[in-house]
Amino acid sequence: MNIYIGNLSYSVTSEDLRDAFAAHGEVTSANVIMDRETGRSKGFGFVEMPNAEEGQSAISALNEQPLSGRNIRVNEARPREPRPARRPRY
């Protein structure tokens, strides 16, 4: 199960996410999405949990709960929408 986590504090690391979700079951991966240009967090991330039941438990337990001073938003990740092709810059 792929889980989206939004409204993250910029100080939260991938390891912080892993620790928060590991209390609810096995975590396959945890990633805070970083801005390529600045190297700073974009304020959201993803956690993968192999067991859907544990994933739902984590979503229910952690949604709107504080993590590093901010109430995080947690829900099941939706598949990425296809984006239109970008025009090349000259």
Q: What CATH architecture applies to the domain 2-76? A: 2-Layer Sandwich (3.30)
Residues 6 or more apart whose Cβ sits within 8 Å of residue 9 = 43, 67, 68, 69, 70
Strands (E), the chain: 2-6, 29-34, 41-48, 66-67, 70-71, 73-76
> Average pLDDT in the 50-78 region?
94
Is residue 48's pLDDT more than 90?
yes
> Average pLDDT in the 76-80 region?
87
What is the model's pLDDT at position 81?
Answer: 82
Going from N- to C-terminal start, the domains of the chain cover 2-76
Is residue 90's pLDDT more than 80?
no
Report CA torsion sign: 38, 40, 42, 47: positive
